[in-house]
């Protein structure tokens, strides 16, 4: 693959480049500012329902190609997520290549904000892995196309609050579908990743009476959970977690958790978690269905975060946003029912519902309103 960032060092203007394997994306923008160390990619999947909204991920990718693959997958998922969340927003995403612990700086974030501004409102950014509300405040000094800012700046704050709440609602719906009852009391739930979303999900689960098993590569994150909830069990890694006797597996770390090996050893009846792009490759959803494991599509159940930050666009109100996120329960149940009626996996049913809304509402946007 061409070293796009190497070619752009002499010219920091955004470059929109047609990419092979772009999967129908409207626009892919490479952003580089050598002095601050910024190397970023913004991907807009589609704007059928409105401007593209999706977070900015700050991560030390092994290569530009890995970063590009991730941002393309994530932006497509955002289009489907926003559609099923009932938002009048399209799908986009951005990635900044680097270690957020050592590479992040004010100049870099503000340079990134300039690139967001250059898109003229086609893309609105927010928090994701490696970025926080305080980062959005800095980016917002260069562009108004930012949500998920701090409460002090009139923003929605940490979007993991309603992301975790939405995953919990989706999990309740899955338990209703499989076990005939929505409460998690007495159920054993394995949570992989107890960072921003995972630790809040554990709070909901413990409050609802579930037994919780966790794992995380970050020992400090695990220790923080144990301090809050001493009864939580800890296992070494994903393999140990998915091999354990659990009712629900909740992937809340990075994507690709559901690969062939994980599905083969998984003992849970339900998969429902906060991570994006949980299916490692096409066909995994059928493997889960063949094993009788109910998969709650990730972009449906983890949409509480985007609901939270999207509410900021009209002036944030947590009660209003939370009420919208509660609807994830009903949406998830509808997807399970549709999947059963159509004889397809829930992931396929969810895709069809999202594509239908993008097509039907997107068509209406073509009605000429005059100048």
Catalytic residues: 93
Residue 26 Cα distances to 16, 23, 85, 122, 347, angstroms = 10, 9, 21, 11, 24
Tokens for 277, please give them.
């792009």
Are β-strands 211-215 and 123-124 bridged in parallel, bridged antiparallel, or unpaired?
unpaired
Residue 276 Cα distances to 64, 255, 307, angstroms = 20, 5, 15
Q: Give the separation between CA 73 and CA 56, rounded to whole angstroms.
A: 13
Tokens for 159, please give them.
């979007």
Give residues with Cβ within 8 angstroms of 66, minimum separation 6. Answer: none
Q: Give the separation between CA 92 and CA 310, rounded to whole angstroms.
A: 13
Return the closest-CA partner of residue 339 out of 177, 166, 175: 177
Nearest-10 Cα torsion for 26, 257, 87, 133: -90
Long-range (24+ apart) CB contacts under 8 A made by 236-245 are: 238/192, 238/262, 239/265, 240/215, 241/190, 241/192, 241/213, 241/214, 241/215, 242/190, 242/266, 242/267, 242/268, 243/267, 244/190, 244/213, 245/188
Give the distance between the most distant pair of CA atoms in the chain.
63
């Amino acid at each position: 693959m061409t070293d796009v960032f190497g070619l752009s060092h002499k010219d920091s203007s955004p470059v929109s480049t047609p990419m092979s394997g772009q999967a129908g994306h409207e626009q892919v923008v490479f952003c580089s500012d050598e002095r601050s160390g910024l190397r970023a990619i913004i991907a807009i999947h589609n704007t059928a329902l409105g401007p593209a909204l999706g977070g900015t991920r700050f991560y030390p990718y092994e290569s530009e190609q890995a970063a590009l693959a991730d941002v393309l997958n994530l932006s497509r998922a955002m289009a489907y997520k926003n559609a099923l969340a009932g938002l009048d927003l399209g799908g986009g995403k951005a990635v900044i290549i680097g270690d957020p612990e050592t590479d992040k700086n004010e100049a870099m974030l503000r340079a990134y904000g300039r690139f967001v501004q250059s898109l003229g409102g086609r893309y609105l950014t927010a928090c994701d892995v490696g970025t926080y509300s305080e980062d959005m405040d800095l980016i917002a000094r260069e562009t108004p196309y930012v949500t998920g800012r701090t409460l002090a700046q009139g923003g929605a704050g940490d979007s993991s609050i309603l992301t975790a709440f939405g995953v919990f609602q989706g999990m309740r719906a899955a338990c209703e579908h499989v076990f005939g009852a929505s409460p998690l009391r007495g159920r054993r739930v394995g949570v992989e990743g107890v960072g921003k979303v995972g630790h809040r999900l554990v709070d909901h689960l413990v409050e609802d009476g579930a037994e919780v098993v966790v794992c995380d590569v970050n020992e400090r994150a695990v220790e923080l959970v144990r301090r809050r909830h001493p009864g939580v069990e800890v296992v070494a890694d994903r393999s140990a977690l998915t091999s354990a006797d659990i009712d629900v597996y909740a992937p809340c770390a990075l994507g690709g958790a559901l690969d062939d090996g994980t599905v083969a050893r998984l003992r849970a009846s339900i998969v429902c978690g906060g991570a994006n792009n949980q299916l490692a490759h096409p066909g995994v959803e059928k493997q889960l269905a063949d094993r009788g494991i109910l998969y709650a599509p990730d972009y449906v159940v983890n949409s509480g975060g985007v609901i939270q930050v999207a509410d900021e666009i009209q002036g944030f109100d947590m009660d209003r946003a939370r009420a919208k996120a509660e609807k994830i329960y009903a949406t998830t149940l509808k997807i399970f029912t549709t999947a059963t009626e159509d004889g397809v996996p829930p992931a396929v049913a969810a895709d069809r519902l999202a594509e239908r809304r993008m097509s039907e509402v997107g068509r209406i946007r073509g009605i000429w309103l005059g100048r």
